[in-house]
Amino acid sequence: MDQARSLVTAALLVGLTVGSARAEVAPPPAASPIPSRPSEPPPSPAEQRYARERKSPGLALTLEALSPVAGAGSLYAGTEGDRAAFLAVLSALAAGAAVGGVFWLVHLDGERASGFSRAALDLEQGGAISLLVTAGLVYLLARASGLSLASDAIDSFNRDLQRRLAVP
């Protein structure tokens, strides 16, 4: 039993040694530049600069979608800063109003009233719910506008860069 185990261990060691020896003996692959088609001329310096400086639409939309404040994708583009700032302020105000509406509802939930006070309490609860719903709708509208603005800002930035560098 021990001899069989020794033989298996020796065979594994020889196999691993031979495999690693082959890996050491094999020459490393020659590093070659990316082959280009012979019919295509190499990119001009302006095209290379455009490729380096252009903004990614996917990144702008991802930033806009993941950021809790609207306008982040447009701020990445560096254009439409005033509109992006307006959307950021609008979404922050809407989020603040929503939080205030929730606190107002929590406060009113503990109130007990009857008669005329009950009608006033119902009116206040309706106002708090209206504030909450309106704030939510304004926030969603700001976020949707932010996605649209981010896409437009990136396209505008890339077209302007293309025009400045005279890249076809």
DSSP string computed for 23-79: HHHSPPPPP-PPP--TTSPPPPHHHHHHHHHPPPHHHHHHHHHH-SSTTHHHHHHTS
Which residues make Cβ contacts (< 8 Å) with residue 14, sequence separation at least 6? none
Give the model confidence (pLDDT) of 60-108 as tens digits. Answer: 999 999 989 898 888 888 877 889 999 999 999 999 999 999 999 898 8
pLDDT digits (tens, 9 = 90+) for 38-69: 677 788 888 888 888 888 899 999 999 998 98
CB neighbourhood size of 63 (10 A): 19
Cα separation, 51 vs 83, in Å, equals 27
Confidence of residue 22 (pLDDT cuts 50, 70, 90): very low
Residues 96, 89, 54, 151, Cα dihedral to 10° = 80
Model confidence over 6-15: pLDDT tens digits? 555 655 555 5
Q: Is residue 98 a contact partner of residue 146, using CB atoms and an 8 Å limit?
A: no
Residue 72 contacts residue 91 (beta carbons within 8 Å):
no
Whether residue 32 is predicted with pLDDT greater than 60 in this model: the reply is no
Average pLDDT over every residue of 24-41 = 61
Q: How far is CA 44 from CA 19, 114, 160, 161, in A?
A: 46, 80, 18, 15
